[in-house]
């Protein structure tokens, strides 16, 4: 049986990742990726003092990799409240998921999810009522439309 880490706020899961102890390893991968993504890094550094995304909740359904972690941490630095799930359970990097959760990003993903778990993770992101969705495979958008979740 695989163990999972869940942070809860009343009945609301704040994150669910396979192993939070992988966060340190994930941080190293994130730092490597950020140092190799200079345009994004420069843009984040130029804008972060003004917090242009303050008060906005963003929902992401993407491959959870070291590269996408730079985007997710970056929008958090720009003031956004961020919730994410993996867009493909086969590509989720568990160390990156643990790192994102350790940074206060609401993270719902782990490698090898079942279809039912994948669907649950998407719903957790939608429970944050994001104002903007970024979804590379349309699974979250379809679920949002079919379940008629309200996005402000």
SS3 per-residue string spanning the chain:
CCCCEEEEECCEEEEEECCHHHHHHHHHHHHHHHHCCHHHHHHHHHHCCCCCCCCCEEEEEECCCHHHHHHHHHHHHCCCEEEEEECCCCCCCHHHHHHHHHCCCEEECCCCCCHHHHHHHHHHHHHCCCCEEEECCCHHHHHHHHHCCCCC
Q: Residue 87 above 90 pLDDT?
A: yes
User: Once rounded to an integer, what is the mean pLDDT over residues 42-71?
Assistant: 97
Give percent of the chain with pLDDT exceeding 70: 87
Average of per-residue pLDDT values in the chain: 89
Whole-model pTM: value is 0.88
Domain definitions of the chain by residue range: 5-10+20-147
Q: Does domain 5-10+20-147 have CATH number 3.40.50.1480?
A: yes
| pLDDT tens string 104-140 | 999 999 999 999 999 999 999 999 999 999 998 877 7
Closest CA to 109 of 9, 15, 27, 44: 15
Cα–Cα distance for residue pair 43/77, rounded to 1 Å: 11
User: Once rounded to an integer, what is the mean pLDDT over residues 46-71?
Assistant: 97
Q: Residue 71 above 70 pLDDT?
A: yes
Backbone angles phi, psi at 147, to 5 degrees: -95, 0
| pLDDT tens string 16-33 | 999 999 999 999 999 999
Q: Residue 1 above 70 pLDDT?
A: no
More confident residue, 4 or 72: 72
């Amino acid at each position: 049986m695989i163990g999972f880490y869940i942070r809860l706020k009343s009945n609301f899961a704040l994150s669910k990742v396979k192993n939070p102890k992988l966060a340190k390893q994930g941080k190293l991968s994130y730092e490597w990726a950020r140092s190799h993504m200079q345009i994004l890094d420069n843009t984040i550094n130029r804008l972060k003092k003004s917090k242009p995304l303050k008060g906005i909740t963003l929902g992401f359904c993407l491959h959870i990799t070291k590269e996408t972690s730079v985007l997710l941490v970056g929008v958090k630095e720009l003031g956004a409240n961020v919730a994410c799930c993996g867009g493909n359970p086969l590509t989720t990097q568990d160390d990156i998921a643990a790192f994102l959760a350790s940074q206060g990003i609401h993270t719902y993903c782990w490698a090898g999810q079942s279809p039912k778990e994948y669907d649950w993770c998407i719903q957790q992101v939608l429970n944050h009522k994001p104002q903007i969705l970024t979804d590379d495979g349309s699974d979250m958008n379809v679920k949002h439309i079919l379940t008629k979740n309200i996005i402000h």
